[in-house]
Copies of this chain bind each other. A is one copy, B any other.
């Protein structure tokens, strides 16, 4: 079940991705104009990029402050997963406040990124959500004071 995906993107695809990465709501007509192509061709390309899972999704970046989500934290979690599984990782992924779960090298661990309203919210989460996961051995929390940059933009090649 581990089909090797074949991407194979050309320069035009890269340009589309570049535009989409800047503003995912750019319409096909605008992209078409910018690339000097017909809108229908762009539509085809974009559809294909979605099908090939090159574009995974379109999301709106919402200001955390607007939802009063003021505290960002990273938590290293040492856990004892049943061999060959990532049971803990999957449980962590289910927690809504947890934005990222990474299985990291070294200490049988995970690194998670968590957004809560405040310190109290973080404590709550650790007690009520992490606390419920028995396989967790220990945690180490790092509090973010200020975020200088936070994007998911990838570096898109200029030549093929």
Contact = CB atoms under 8 A, between A and B. Distances in A.
Q: Please classify the interface of chain A as helix (H, G, I), strand (E, B), loop, or mixed, using the class held by over half of its residues.
A: mixed
A153 B99 contact: yes
Contacts of A143: 104-105
A90 B159 CA distance: 28
Interface string A73-106: 0100000000000100110110011111111111
Interface in A42-86: 52-67, 69, 72, 74, 86
A152 B99 contact: yes
Quick one: copies of this chain in the complex? 2
A64 B152 CA distance: 10
B142 A66 contact: no
Contacts of A5: 65-66
B90 A7 contact: no
Nearest to A147: B102
Interface in A9-48: 9, 17, 20-25
A62 B66 contact: no
Contact of A142 (B55, B62, B106, B151): B106
Contacts of A98: 149
Contact of A144 (B69, B103, B152): B103
Interface of A: 5, 7, 9, 17, 20-25, 52-67, 69, 72, 74, 86, 89-90, 92-93, 96-106, 110-111, 115, 142-157
